[in-house]
Amino acid sequence: MNQITLLAELQDLDTRSDKNADLRDTLETKLADVAAMDDARTAYEQDARGKAELESKLRALELETGSLSDKLKQVSDRLYSGRITNAKELADLNRDEQMLRRRQGELEDQTLTLMEQLEAAERGVSEKQSTHAKIAAETKARHAQERRRLDQLTADDADIELKRQALRAQLSIEVLRTYDYLRETKKGRAVVRVHAASCIACGTAVPSGLISRLKLGNELVFCTNCERILAP
Residue 200 engages Zn ion in binding (rule: CB under 5 A)? no
| Measured distance between the N- and C-terminal CA atoms of the chain, rounded to whole angstroms | 13
Residue 223 engages Zn ion in binding (rule: CB under 5 A)? yes
Outline where the chain has alpha helix (H): 3-32, 35-79, 87-169, 173-185, 208-216
Return all residues near 51 (Cβ < 8 A) that are at least 6 apart: 118, 121, 122, 124, 125
In this structure, which amino acid lies at residue 184? E
Identify the three-state secondary structure at position 67: helix
Number of CB atoms found within 10 A of residue 117's CB:
15
Applying CB under 5 A, the span of 62-70, 95-103, 176-184, 204-212 interacting with Zn ion comes to: 204-212
| Residue 141 Cα distances to 3, 38, 134, 136, angstroms | 46, 16, 11, 9
Among 43, 58, 150, 226, binds Zn ion (CB under 5 A): 226
Among 61, 202, 205, 211, binds Zn ion (CB under 5 A): 202
Residue 206 engages Zn ion in binding (rule: CB under 5 A)? no
Return all residues near 70 (Cβ < 8 A) that are at least 6 apart: none
CB nearer Zn ion, residue 117 or residue 225 = 225
Residue 199 engages Zn ion in binding (rule: CB under 5 A)? yes
Applying CB under 5 A, the span of 16-24, 140-148, 172-180, 198-206 interacting with Zn ion comes to: 198-206
Residue 201 engages Zn ion in binding (rule: CB under 5 A)? yes
Using a 10 angstrom Cβ sphere, with 0-12 exposed, 13-18 middle and 19 or more buried, the burial of residue 63 is: exposed
Q: Closest approach of Cβ 207 to Zn ion, in Å?
A: 12
Q: Closest approach of Cβ 37 to Zn ion, in Å?
A: 48
User: What is the pattern of x (binds Zn ion, CB under 5 A) and - over residues 87-126?
Assistant: ----------------------------------------
Residue 13 engages Zn ion in binding (rule: CB under 5 A)? no
Applying CB under 5 A, the span of 39-47, 48-56, 155-163, 197-205 interacting with Zn ion comes to: 197-205
Residue 231 engages Zn ion in binding (rule: CB under 5 A)? no
Phi (first) and psi of residue 192, to 5 degrees? -130, 150
Q: Please give the residue ranges that form the binding site for Zn ion (CB under 5 A).
A: 199, 201-202, 204, 223, 225-226
